[in-house]
A = this chain, B = another copy of it.
Amino acid sequence: MQTLSTENYLKAIYHASQSASGTVATTSIANKIGAKPSSVTDMFKKLSDQKLVKYEKYQGVSLTNEGVKTALRIVRKHRLWESFLVSHLNFNWDEVHQVAEQLEHIQSEKLTNELERFLDYPTHDPHGDPIPNRALFMKSYNKILLTELPLNKEGVCVGVKDNSSDFLRYLDRRQIGIGTPILVLHREDFDQSLHIQAGNSTLMITQKTAENIYIKP
C-alpha cells in the first residue's frame, strides 16, 4: 500500500521518464515535486526498497514494471477525475488539475471502475491526454507539435504540452481547444510566429504558443 507521498513521486518519475530518455535525475524530480534534492534521495531509497524503482547512487532512477503499473493506476484515476469534473461538475479545463491531484489518491477499485463506466469509458482527458483503461493500456494519437505542421496542411488540436492555467485560459480566449481544426497560413521566418486559421477565425500566435500545442495531422 502506497502513501500519498510515494504515489506523487511515482507519478512524477513516470512523467519525467516519458519526456526524457534514460534515467530520471534527482533534481528533475525535486523541481516537479517542489522538494529539496536531499528529500528526493531519501524517497528514491524507499521506492528502491519497495522494488518500484531501480536506483543506483548518483545515477538517477527508472521505474520497474511494478512501478510503472502503480504510476499508471494513479494517472488513470487523475485523468478520469479530471474528465468527470469537466463533463459533469462545470469545471473549466484549467481548474481541474489541483483537485485531481487529490482525488487520484482515493483507494477504491470499484470507485475507479464505476466512474469510468459512468463517464462511458473516455479515452482522453480534458487536456487530450490518454486515459489508461482497466488493464492500464492506453492509445495515444500520432501527434506532432504545431511548430512542425506543414503550411496549408489541415490538422486538429488534440492536446497541450503546457497544462498551466495561464496557458489554458489564453487558449480559451483564442478559442483554441481540443478538437479545433488548425491550418498554418504563414510562418514568419524572423521570429517563427505563425498566422493560423483556428476554427473560423484567423489569428497570430508566437512560436512559444505553437510549441505547446499538439496536432493530429
Contact = CB atoms under 8 A, between A and B. Distances in A.
Nearest to A115: B89
B118 A99 contact: no
Interface in A158-188: none
Contacts of A98: 108
A202 interface: no
Interface in A91-138: 91, 95, 98-99, 102-103, 105-108, 110-111, 114-115, 117-118
Interface string A47-77: 0000000000000000000000000000000
Determine how many copies of this chain the complex contains. Answer: 2
A192 to B, nearest CB: 38
Interface residues of A, number: 20
A110 B89 CA distance: 9
Contacts of A108: 98-99, 102
A111 to B, nearest CB: 6
Contacts of A88: 118
Contacts of A110: 89, 91, 95, 99
A111 B90 contact: no
Nearest to A103: B106
A155 to B, nearest CB: 34
B102 A107 contact: yes
Contacts of A99: 106, 108, 110-111
A96 B114 CA distance: 13
Interface string A179-215: 0000000000000000000000000000000000000
Nearest to A107: B102
Contacts of A106: 99, 102-103
A115 to B, nearest CB: 7
User: Nearest 7 CB-CB pairs, A to B?
Assistant: A89-B114, A99-B108, A102-B106, A90-B114, A99-B111, A88-B118, A89-B118
